[in-house]
C-alpha cells in the first residue's frame, strides 16, 4: 500500500442484533430462544485519504459513518476487508498508533467532567509522553487559536456546550495527531460557535497539515472545509469525489432567486416555487430551460434582483440518496 493517510478496501462491519417481537408470548419465547438478525452497518467500502487531505463523510442517520470512524480509530474490529491508517492496522491499538491519531465525537465527553480542562491536558501530556516544552507550546497555540483563555481553569461541567467543544478539541490535539477523525464536532452549537469551530479546524489543518475525516449534519461545515466528500448510505458508498462535481453531475436544475417590484406576483408559471421570503422568491427550474425562463422573467416583470445558483448541497445529497435507493 502507498503512503495515503487512510487506505480502506472492502471494509465491513456487521452487528448481530436480537430480533424484538412484540407481545407477551414472544417475550417469554425469547427467554429460551433468541432470534438474531445481521445489521450490515458498513457493507464493503473502499477509499483512500491522502496526507493532509480534509474529507467530508456524509450520509443520513444510521448510514454507517460512526461505525466506520470507530474502525479507523481502532475502537471496533472490522468484520471483513482491510484498513490501514498511517500505515498501521488500527484495531491493534498500538500505543504508537494511538499517539498519532485523534477521534473527537461531538456527543461524547472525553475530558474529566469535574476538573478543569487544564488538568486533563496534563493527563494527556503524561499519557502521550509529550515533552514539556512541546506540550507548552502546543497548548498555548491551541488556547490562542480557540480563544480559550480562562476556560481551561474552570471545571468542564461548568462550561457551555460550545465552550466544552472548544476545550475538547484542544485536548484532542495536544499530542499533534497526524490523523483526525471528527464525528459531528459542531453538533448542537449555535451558528456563531459552529463557524468558530470550523474556522479553527481549517486553520489547524493549514498550519499542521494533518488529515481530517469529518462527519457533520451541517453542510456549511462541509462546504467550508472539504473539497472532497464521500457519501455513504446503508453502509455503501454512493459518491466519492469533488463536492463541486457532485452538484454538476447530479443537479438537473438551477435555483433562481428573484426579487420583483411587484412582490406579490405569482411565479408558479416559471418553475417550482421553493420558498418565499418577503419579496424574494426562490424558483427551481430545469437547467436546460434556465436561459429562457430568466429571459421571460426579465421581459414580463420589473426585476429588482435575479440570481442563478446551483441547488443547495443538502438538496443534491437528497437526490443522490433517492437515486441510490432506486438502484438495484
Ligand X SMILES: Nc1ncnc2c1ncn2[C@@H]1O[C@H](COP(=O)(O)OP(=O)(O)OP(=O)(O)O)[C@@H](O)[C@H]1O
Q: Residue 138 or residue 216: which is nearer to ligand X going by CB? A: 216
Query: How many CB atoms sit inside 10 A of residue 263's CB?
Result: 12
CA gap 277, 171 in Å, rounded: 42
Angle between helices 132-145 and 191-208 (to 10 degrees): 140
Output the smallest distance, CB 236 to ligand X, in A: 12
Work out which of 9, 14, 15, 284 binds ligand X, going by CB under 6 A. Answer: 15
Map the footprint of ligand X across residues 17-76, applying CB under 6 A: 17, 39, 41, 59, 61-67
Cβ-contact 156, 206 below 8 angstroms: no
Output the smallest distance, CB 16 to ligand X, in A: 8
Output the smallest distance, CB 102 to ligand X, in A: 18
Output the smallest distance, CB 58 to ligand X, in A: 9
Map the footprint of ligand X across residues 241-280, applying CB under 6 A: none
Q: Across the strands, what pairs with 212?
A: 54, 180
Residue 24 host element (H or E): helix 24-32
Output the smallest distance, CB 50 to ligand X, in A: 23
Draw the binding track, 193-232, toward ligand X (x: CB under 6 A; -: no contact).
Answer: ----------------------------------------
Q: Residue 218 or residue 270: which is nearer to ligand X going by CB? A: 218
CA gap 138, 146 in Å, rounded: 12
Angle at 66 between CA 78 and CA 1, to 5 degrees: 50
Q: Residue 181 or residue 253: which is nearer to ligand X going by CB? A: 181
Output the smallest distance, CB 207 to ligand X, in A: 29
Specify the DSSP class assigned to residue 34: -
Q: Residue 42 or residue 197: which is nearer to ligand X going by CB? A: 42
Output the smallest distance, CB 41 to ligand X, in A: 3
- How many residues line the site for ligand X (CB under 6 A)? 12
Q: Which of 316, 103, 323, 307 is nearest to 219 (CA)?
A: 316
Q: Residue 135 or residue 181: which is nearer to ligand X going by CB? A: 181
Q: Residue 103 or residue 156: which is nearer to ligand X going by CB? A: 103
Cβ-contact 146, 166 below 8 angstroms: yes
Q: Is there binding between residue 319 and ligand X (CB under 6 A)?
A: no
CA gap 271, 291 in Å, rounded: 13
CA gap 235, 105 in Å, rounded: 20
Q: Which residues contact 199 (CB under 8 A, 6 or more apart)?
A: 224
Which residues contact ligand X by CB under 6 A? 15, 17, 39, 41, 59, 61-67
Amino acid at each position: 500500500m502507498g503512503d495515503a493517510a487512510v487506505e480502506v478496501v472492502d471494509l465491513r462491519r456487521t452487528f448481530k442484533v436480537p430480533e424484538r417481537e412484540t407481545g407477551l408470548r414472544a417475550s417469554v419465547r425469547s427467554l429460551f430462544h433468541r432470534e438474531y438478525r445481521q445489521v450490515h452497518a458498513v457493507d464493503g467500502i473502499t477509499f483512500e485519504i491522502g496526507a493532509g487531505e480534509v474529507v467530508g463523510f456524509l450520509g443520513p442517520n444510521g448510514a454507517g459513518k460512526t461505525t466506520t470512524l470507530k474502525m479507523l480509530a481502532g475502537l471496533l474490529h472490522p468484520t471483513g476487508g482491510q484498513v490501514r491508517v498511517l500505515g498501521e492496522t488500527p484495531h491493534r491499538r498500538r500505543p504508537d498508533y494511538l499517539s498519532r491519531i485523534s477521534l473527537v465525537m461531538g456527543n461524547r465527553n472525553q475530558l474529566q467532567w469535574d476538573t478543569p480542562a487544564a488538568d486533563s491536558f496534563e493527563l494527556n501530556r503524561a499519557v502521550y509522553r509529550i515533552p514539556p516544552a512541546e506540550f507548552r507550546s502546543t497548548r498555548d497555540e491551541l488556547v490562542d487559536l480557540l480563544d480559550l483563555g480562562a476556560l481551561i481553569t474552570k471545571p468542564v461541567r461548568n462550561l457551555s456546550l460550545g465552550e466544552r467543544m472548544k476545550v475538547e478539541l484542544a485536548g484532542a490535539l495536544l499530542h499533534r495527531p497526524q490523523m483526525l477523525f471528527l464525528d459531528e464536532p459542531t453538533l448542537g452549537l449555535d451558528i456563531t460557535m459552529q463557524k468558530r469551530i470550523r474556522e479553527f479546524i481549517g486553520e489547524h489543518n493549514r498550519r499542521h497539515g494533518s488529515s481530517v475525516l469529518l462527519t457533520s449534519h451541517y453542510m456549511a461545515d462541509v462546504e467550508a472545509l472539504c473539497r472532497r466528500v464521500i457519501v455513504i448510505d446503508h453502509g455503501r458508498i454512493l459518491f466519492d469525489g469533488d463536492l463541486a462535481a457532485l452538484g454538476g453531475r447530479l443537479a438537473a436544475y438551477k435555483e433562481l432567486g428573484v426579487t420583483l417590484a411587484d412582490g406579490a406576483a405569482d411565479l408558479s408559471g416559471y418553475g417550482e416555487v421553493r420558498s418565499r421570503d418577503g419579496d424574494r422568491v426562490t424558483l427551481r427550474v430545469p437547467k436546460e430551460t434556465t436561459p429562457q425562463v430568466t429571459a421571460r422573467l426579465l421581459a414580463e416583470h420589473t426585476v429588482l434582483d435575479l440570481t442563478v445558483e446551483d441547488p443547495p448541497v443538502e438538496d443534491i445529497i437528497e437526490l443522490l440518496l433517492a437515486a441510490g435507493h432506486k438502484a438495484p
